[in-house]
Amino acid sequence: LNDTEIQMIVDTGGTVSLASPVEMMMGHGMPPIQKFLDRGLRPSLSVDVETNVPGDMFNQMRSVLGLQRALAAVEGKAPISTREVLEYATIEGARANGLDSKVGTLTPGKQADLIMLRTDRVNVTPLNDPATAVVVGMDTGNVDTVLIAGRVLKRKGQLLHVDLQAVRGVASDARDHVVEKSGFKVPSI
């Protein structure tokens, strides 16, 4: 996005979302995190092309934190905090999707969408600052329990209500069908 396009987003009250790992991996150039921040835009985080990069929010958060801090050092700007990055992954994601009145924060009256994380794992021991531990140290192995609208979908690290074997089979069959019909050769990146 050029400066004029970014200003149009600001002027119209729009939101922006970054999928920094895939943007960098696929050679799309430098994600414009610092340009957004300079104009007062607080981005949300998103995933794209999960065949090229991990699609979890931990990877997204670490990527945008490292990218912005590197750019900030070069450009003499203030580095963002891990708490800000955690907000990009939570409330800013809800806001970008028009759902901030329902989800995105732990607030009475909002939907019970929760992710409970293990803090007893070696990757965050000893635990000092919770926001920093989530953004810098944790990964999907720390996810213990997930509730969406109060319904438990993952408990003790195990998905519930999902037949993963069947999902893997359907995904593999679909890939094989598309490759066969299209003649597409899956490239190595």
**Three state DSSP letters for 14-47:** CCCEECHHHHHHCCCCCCCHHHHHHCCCCCEECC
- pLDDT of residue 186 exceeding 80, the answer is no
Q: Is 141 helix (H, G, I), strand (E, B) or coil?
A: helix
**Strand segments (E) across the chain:** 17-18, 44-45, 114-117, 143-148, 151-155, 158-159
Q: Is 122 helix (H, G, I), strand (E, B) or coil?
A: helix
Tokens of 125: 């021991």
Q: Give 87 or 30, the one with higher predicted confidence.
A: 87
Quickly state the pLDDT bin for 52 (edges 50, 70, 90): confident
Domains parsed from the chain with CATH numbers: 1-105 (3.20.20.140), 112-181 (2.30.40.10)
Tokens of 169: 């089979």
Tokens of 167: 């999902």
Mean pLDDT within 58-71? 96
- pLDDT of residue 1 exceeding 80, the answer is yes
pTM (2 d.p.): 0.88
* Distance in angstroms (rounded) separating the CA atoms of residues 49 and 59: 14
> What pLDDT was estimated at residue 79?
97
- pLDDT of residue 11 exceeding 90, the answer is yes
